[in-house]
Amino acid sequence: ADVVLRGYSGYNTRWVLKVLDRVFPVSQGGDGGTETAPIALTVFFGANDACLPNRCSAFQHVPLHEYKENIGSTVSFFKVTHICIVVRIVNKMIR
């Protein structure tokens, strides 16, 4: 088995939606391609989305309602392109 890292430093959920189909191309059966659906996939998002909107990293900030929609769209993408998906979201709010 191969382990492929497809990390994109600084990306938020808004930006990743623009590249998902290129990063994880859907294999067209019988085309002779070597693309195989992954058997395991880990997706980490949230830290860049949570950047404060009034700081120097504001360009990475994604409002909570949009973040929720973007996560849903990402999960939907993998549901369509891959057989099985398990979602586990672990967040700890620090006050």
Encoded tokens for 90 = 């672990």
pLDDT of residue 17: 94
Provide the strand spans (E) within 1-95: none
pLDDT of amino acid 30: 46
pLDDT at 87 over 80: no
Task: Note whether 52 and 61 are within 8 A (CB).
Answer: yes
Q: How many domains are there within the chain?
A: 1
Is the CA virtual torsion 28, 30, 35, 41 positive or negative?
Answer: positive
- Determine, yes or no, domain membership for 95: no
Summarize pLDDT for 16-49 with one digit per residue, the tens: 999 988 888 776 554 444 566 677 777 788 888 9
Reduced to 3 states (helix: H, G, I; strand: E, B; else coil), residue 82 is coil
Residue 66 has a pLDDT of: 95
Average pLDDT taken over every residue of the chain: 79
Q: Which domain, by its residues, includes 18?
A: 13-81
Is pTM beyond 0.75? Reply is no
Asked if the structure places residue 1 within a domain, the reply is no
Establish if 92 belongs to a structural domain: no
